[in-house]
Amino acid sequence: MSTAESALFRAAVMQSWNAIVITDADLAAGCRVEIANPAFCAMTGYPLEELRGRTLKLLQGPDTDPALIEELRNCLREGRYFEGTTTNYRKDGSPYIVRWNISPIRDDAGTLTHFISVQQDITAYVLAQRENRLLARALDATTDPVLITDAQARIIFANVAFEEATGYTIDEVKGRTPALLRSDEHDEAFYAKLHRVLADGQDFRATFVNRRRDGSLYHAEQSISPICDESGRITHYVSVSKDISDRVDMEQALRHAATRDKLTGLYNRRHGEHLLEEACRRAQKRGGVLSLIVCDIDHFKQINDRFGHPAGDRVLSDVAHILRDSVRSGDAVIRWGGEEFVILLENCALEAAIDLGERVRNRVRAHQDAEVGALTLSLGLAGRAQDESFEQLVARADAALYTAKRSGRDRLSLA
């Protein structure tokens, strides 16, 4: 090797960012240090003057892995390459975690003359890894589902609670986006707002209706937060949610109980009055047509007196079912009280309301109860007049109903 090449190699070793140390190959003496570059001296805290002629055993301490050191000795004795990680100690006694490799150096005759070791202080990396594992265990320990994605919304982490809530394992969702949970219960405006809020670096909170792996739906109170790096660039998103399906079911049950008649499942009178008032307000504001039918089961008192209240309740339920199946999907059917029902028909002209009323009457007439026999229905129909309140509209339809009853029942009368 020329003088220039020797100088180049020495400069490369001494200026290397990695810590480099060269020892002799005298195994009996423990392989004494001959050269250590500034990076090695900075890492260990020992100047070259204190290292030269000593063995690197001086870096070992209580947490140095003895099994790894024994493996190192075997490699040195056999002149083999070695790589390992353990805890070493600086001159001031502070520990650091080092990853190093050792290569044998031979002369032209093949005789082992030296060992060269390239080392890195990986303490910060190992501690970060430990913290990440601790964080992962902590996230797994929480009962709330947690999901972490990269900036492109690709899933990189999901905790155990997420797996239990959705039925998806982490291996099934990793690399995919949270769109796999979409239930189609939210419109595009919902997701547009989500993307807009997150792009602005703000948290997005909402109640999501998500779909599990088995296709079932669940309600999740969810918070999604962007995570930014030092420059403010969004690098990840973290979502924390809570399954509130039980609470939603309870709230829906309470709302149902507050607005529905227990026997028939139709709207109760209190909620029906609210629906009527709102419908009249909309018709007044927009100029739309509104029709109302009040109907009554004929001779219902006789049914109760002759066959008993269980039969009467069955008849009420059957008639309610017929009414509900006979109207349009947007029409409201209300149990007004006793055997009386109200059908609210928005955007329904009088002629169409008459046809619907006759359809209802004929379907009830065609129904045969196994115990009671044939049933009939009397109906009163009124179309809303300009500036008429819902109370006035109900009163006119009710008057038409009594006209139908006085005229022989089983008929539809107009107000």
Catalytic positions:
339
Cβ within 8 Å of residue 241, ≥6 positions away: 144, 145, 146, 147, 165, 208, 220, 221, 222, 223
Q: Supply the DSSP symbol for 102.
A: E
The answer to whether the beta carbons of residues 115 and 31 sit under 8 Å apart is yes
Q: Is 95 helix (H, G, I), strand (E, B) or coil?
A: strand
Cα–Cα distance for residue pair 227/149, rounded to 1 Å: 10
State how far the alpha carbon of 159 is from the alpha carbons of 20, 146, 216, 240, in Å: 42, 6, 20, 10
Whole-Å CA distances, 35 to 89, 122, 202: 19, 22, 55
Helix (H, G, I), strand (E, B) or coil at 241: strand
- C-alpha closest to that of 19 among 136, 96, 100: 100
Cβ-based neighbour number of residue 66 at 10 Å: 9
Give me the torsion for CA of 325, 326, 331, 337, rounded to 10°.
-80
Taking the C-alpha atoms of residue 137 and residue 344, their distance in angstroms, rounded to an integer, is 58
Distance (Å, rounded) from C-alpha 65 to C-alpha 61? 9
Strand partners, 340: 296, 337
Q: What is the 3-state secondary structure (H, E, C) of 337-401?
A: ECCEEEEEEECCCHHHHHHHHHHHHHHHHHCEECCCEECCEEEEEEECCCCCCHHHHHHHHHHHH
Count of Cβ atoms closer than 10 Å to residue 314 Cβ: 18
What tokens appear for 78 in the block? 């056999």
Cβ(148)–Cβ(174) below 8 Å: no
Contact of 121 with 89, CB cutoff 8 Å: no
